[in-house]
Amino acid sequence: MAQAFAFQFNLPLPDSSDTLTNVLFINESPEESDTLEIESKPHSGVTMTLKNVSDMVVSSSNHHFKLTFRPDTLVRPEELLLDASHDGQWGLLCEIEKRVPTSADEYALGDVYLYVLYKGAAPLEVKPSTPLALTLKKVGAVAGKGTRPTLAQLILHRYETYVTLSGPDDEYNRTENSDLGLINMSMGGASAPSLEAEFSSSNIVLNDGHTDNHLVLRIVNTGLVPILLTPGTGGESVSRFTVRFESSEDTSHLWALGTSSQVSSILIPGKPDHTGTDPDWPGHALWNVEGPNQLGEWTLTPKPGNTTLDKGMAIEVPISKVKTGHATGRSALLVRYGGLTGYSDGERVAFIQKQPLKFADQMVGIGTGIPTNKLTVETAEDAYGITHSDGTVKLSTRLRGTSSTRAAGFGTQTNHDLLFYTNNSVSSPAMTLKTDGRVGIGTSAPNHPLEVRTDSNSSGLSHTDGTHVLATRVGSPGGGIGTLSEHKLNFFTNNSLAQMTLTTEGKVGIGTNAPDYPLQVKTGTGEHGLSHTDGTRTLTTYVNNDGGWFGTRSNHDLHFFANNKTEPQLTLKTSGNVGIGTYAPDYPLQVKTGAGAHGLSHTDGTRTLTTYVSDKGGWFGTRSNHDLHFFTNNHTTTPELTLKTDGKLLLKGEAPFQCKSITVNRGAASGNTGFSKDEWVVFVAGFYLNADDDSADKDISFNCYPKVSGTTWHIFADVVRVSDDWRVHVIAIRRALITGDYSY
């Protein structure tokens, strides 16, 4: 926030037109003539407007600004008055804080609050050219601790119904501090040495409660003549410089550096690493250092031979292990001097600035005096760092764990979601971390540990090396994961090479990244491949040198089904029996149907070979209008046996039985049947002699028989007397149908 204004105290000198700035005389009995002016002046371009109010009773809630003084600063502050020139325009109320109880009915007094109310009928504008000035009467400083510095604070009312600040900046600080030196009036004309107390180091200390800070105090002779020193170790005549830090057990007090314990632990002269007093401090040759005493004071006295502090000469005192957790503000380091030849005793003040951050080399440190980045925040272990809050929601960084379990985090301290957004799209964040740990990308209400929401048919999660792109996608007809680039999709475990691959052609390879088929599983010889199990029954594929296998790896039957049938339509038993229509076959192959139904069938779409059962028995034949052939030894073009559609039976393409009549000329030895001796066996079925029908013709002796002659069967006859040709009826049977042979 920008600084809006500054304020100071103006003290008029008695019998003079001169004034002293930020000084108040020690005076235990102030009169109305003892006045102190409070002046508030806005910075350039800033206008402070005090609004008119209807309630003219000043109170801790009804006021325009509040002045705060430290305890033991003002004498009887409840008797303070406003100058008569302010009558009717201003109101004043004093409240004194009651702090630590000293007994059942008494309290030690704390800070003094002066509430000031503007009572004008119209708003009052305060500008750089017209500062606000109010005069208090009966003002004196408490004498208890002698000459000393203190701080005062002016706080504008926080509500703009009382005070507004307008100017070039958006926000302004409504609180300012001012130094106030409390001095003895008798010292006004006394001789004072030309001494200054300042820091040659930064005067900023981190008030995070744990950081050890290092300061270097510089006490310098700024005059034109040397200051004479009286060496020694005690007594009022010995020259001395006493260093004292302000302490309070109340960490809200701006004026205190730290608690009494923290102050008493300070090291003077201290090492920069805060490990102890510095034995190599050059000042050891010239100065004795004693302390701290019970008041938390360190005293420097000159050693023998150290008799002057020449002009421009300085005492640089390293101060280390300065630790504080008190409220941000300035604390006075009091440097009292005494025993300086020709000068009365007195005091100088160097202010220490307590704040939560430190600047160094254009870098800012919070919790560290040595920032290493543009902003470095250092905290204790397992503590929050940067926080942004509106009073309800808190966004913070946090370091967690000990040296062995270090971790860093960024999130909400309160029970609120963590949003990530760009382009001021806080109402529709790009990513949301819910309080239950769920992460939403594209949605602020994820239903799963990680939910990515996109438009339909849009990619979601993505991983790329700039060339290969892996992504998820949802939309019609469903959700998927794959590659957006023209590359295979590989699946792997245990940081291995691809164990499953989906190629850009849609082929899946398991054990190979170059499948040749829609699904290809590659294993070693003698290994199982595809498998389905319920933990007891296991169905697998298997390959070895004998070929490919499909079946059960466990001791269970192998079933085949279609159309989601719950009963198997084909079963291979562990015994080797195959059942079709039954899962309990009693034979190597058993087909079970209803009566009057076909069973086994083989067809090429035109010709159909089947089995059939009915109440008349079992059948085997062609269901289509085609012959039924029987063959062996792959004689598929010349079947051994054929049943024709007209019911005729053929053997090797011909009828197995044939009848023939043979006419033999009289005088011939035999008649040729034409039947091959290798394929047929011939029998005589009857004969006809063509003789007249008289008694003479009956007296004939005729004997005929079949006999092989050459390569065919012939019919021979032994005839006693016949005058005409004769005929024989023969039957030929396929040799394949009979056994045995003739004997002649």
Q: Write down the residue that tokens 């409840």 correspond to.
A: 78
| Confidence bin at 187 (pLDDT 50/70/90) | very low
Is the residue at 612 inside a domain? no
Nearest CA to 347 out of 208, 192, 222 is that of 192
- Residues 182, 291: one domain? no
Per-residue burial over 39-71, b = 16 or more CB atoms within 10 Å of its CB, e = otherwise: bbbbbeebebebbebeeeebeeebbbbbbbbbb
* Contact status, residue 506 vs residue 486, Cβ threshold 8 Å: no
3-state SS, 621-664, equals EECCCCCEEECCCCCCCCCCEEECCCCCEEECCECCEEEEEEEE
Q: Identify whether 269 is preceded by a cis peptide bond (ω within 30 of 0).
A: yes
- Looking at the predicted structure, is the pLDDT value of residue 721 above 80? no
Calpha distance 705→416 (Å, rounded): 120
* 376 alpha carbon, distance to own chain's centre: 24
Question: Which residue type is seen at 572?
Answer: L
441 & 351 share domain: no
Q: For 656-695, what is each residue's pLDDT tens digit?
A: 888 999 888 877 778 899 999 988 899 998 877 765 555 4
Task: Give me the sign of the Cα torsion angle 483, 487, 489, 494.
Answer: negative
- ∠ at Cα 495 (494, 501), nearest 5°? 95
CA nearest neighbour of 315 among 280, 275, 284, 351: 284
182 & 205 share domain:
no
Residue 716 one-letter amino acid: F
For the CA atoms of 233, 234, 236, 241, the dihedral, rounded to the nearest 10 degrees, stands at 50
Say if 508 falls within a structural domain. no
Q: Can you tell me the distance from the alpha carbon of 301 to that of 231, in angstroms, rounded to the nearest whole number? A: 7
> Residue 237 pLDDT > 70, yes or no?
yes
| Cα-based angle 87, 93, 99 (whole degrees, multiple of 5) | 165
Mean pLDDT of the chain: 89
**Co-location of 161 and 292 in the same domain:** no
Segment 642-647 mean pLDDT:
92
Q: Indicate whether 145 pLDDT > 70.
A: no
> Where in the sequence is the domain holding 676, given as residue range(s)?
657-737
Is the residue at 398 inside a domain? no
Q: How many alpha carbons fall within 13 Å on the CB side of residue 383? A: 11
- State the average pLDDT over residues 544-556: 95
Q: Quick one: tokens of 346?
A: 């007195």
Cβ pair 405, 412 in contact under 8 A: no
What CATH number does the domain containing 351 carry?
2.60.40.10
**330-387: pLDDT as tens digits:** 999 999 999 887 788 889 999 999 988 877 778 888 877 778 888 888 887 888 888 9
In the 8-state DSSP scheme, what is residue 211?
P
pLDDT per residue over 33-90, tens digit each?
999 999 999 999 999 999 999 999 999 999 999 999 998 899 999 999 999 888 889 9
**One-letter identity of residue 351:** F
- Euclidean distance between CA atoms 326 and 255, whole angstroms: 9
Measured in residues, the chain has a length of 744
Q: What is each CA distance from 101 to 259, 529, 609, in whole angstroms?
A: 19, 87, 116
- CA atoms of 459 and 511, how far apart (whole Å): 28
Tell me 186's DSSP state: G
Element (H, E) at 262: helix 260-264
Neighbour tally for 266: CB within 10 Å: 24
**167 and 207 in one domain?**
no
Beta bridge partners, 660, equal 730
Give the pLDDT of residue 699: 54
- The pLDDT value recorded for residue 106 is 53
Distance CA(336)–CA(350), nearest Å, equals 11
212 and 177, same domain (yes or no): no
Which helix (H) or strand (E) element contains residue 172? strand 172-173
Only one residue has tokens 């009717």, namely 88
- Are 145 and 58 in the same domain? yes
| Segment 563-606, tens digit of pLDDT | 998 888 999 999 999 999 998 999 999 999 999 999 999 999 99
Q: What is the pLDDT of residue 693?
A: 55
- Give the confidence band of 15 by pLDDT, cuts at 50, 70, 90: low
Strands of 33-166 (E only): list them: 35-42, 47-50, 65-69, 81-82, 90-101, 107-118, 124-126, 132-137, 148-156, 163-166
Q: What is the pLDDT of residue 565?
A: 86
Same domain, 142 and 198: no
Residues 244, 217 within the same domain: yes
Number of folded domains in the chain? 4
Say how far apart CA 631 and CA 652 lie, in whole Å.
Answer: 9
Residue 587 lies in a domain: no
Edge to edge, what strands does the sheet with 680-688 contain? 657-664, 726-734, 680-688
470-475 average pLDDT score? 91
Whether residue 13 is found in the same domain as residue 63: yes
pLDDT at residue 264 is higher than 80: yes
Say which DSSP state 521 is in.
E
The whole-number average pLDDT for the span 320-338 is: 94
CB 158 within 8 A of CB 294: no
Is the CA virtual torsion 63, 65, 70, 73 positive or negative?
Answer: negative
114 within domain boundaries? yes
Query: In whole angstroms, what is the distance from residue 609 CA to residue 597 CA?
Result: 14
Examine the domain organization and report whether 151 and 54 are in the same domain.
yes
Between CA 601 and CA 660 the distance in angstroms is: 40
Q: How many CA atoms lie within 13 A of 448 on its CB side?
A: 5
For residue 696, is it within any domain? yes
Q: Does 229 fall in a domain?
A: yes
Q: How confident is the model at residue 529 (pLDDT cuts 50, 70, 90)?
A: very high
Of residues 161, 188, 156, 148, the one with CA closest to residue 172: 156
Decide if 19 is inside a domain. yes
β-bridge mates for residue 610, sequence order: 601, 621
- Phi, psi values for residue 135, rounded to 5°: -110, 130
The pLDDT, as a whole number, for residue 190 is 42
Do 129 and 224 lie in a common domain? no
CA distances 500 to 205, 461, 491, 496, 509, Å, are 63, 21, 5, 11, 6
* DSSP-assigned letters across all residues of 707-726: EEETTEEEEEEEESS--S-E
Q: Is the dihedral of CA 287, 292, 294, 296 positive or negative?
A: positive
With contact defined as beta carbons under 8 Å apart, do 154 and 67 qualify?
yes
For residue 728, CA distances in Å to 96, 679, 682, 710, 743 come to 161, 21, 12, 20, 21
- Exposed, middle or buried by CB within 10 Å (0-12, 13-18, 19+), for 28? exposed
Cis peptide leading into 477, omega within 30 of 0? yes
Distances (CA, A) of 498 to 248, 481, 509, 543, 598: 70, 16, 10, 22, 50
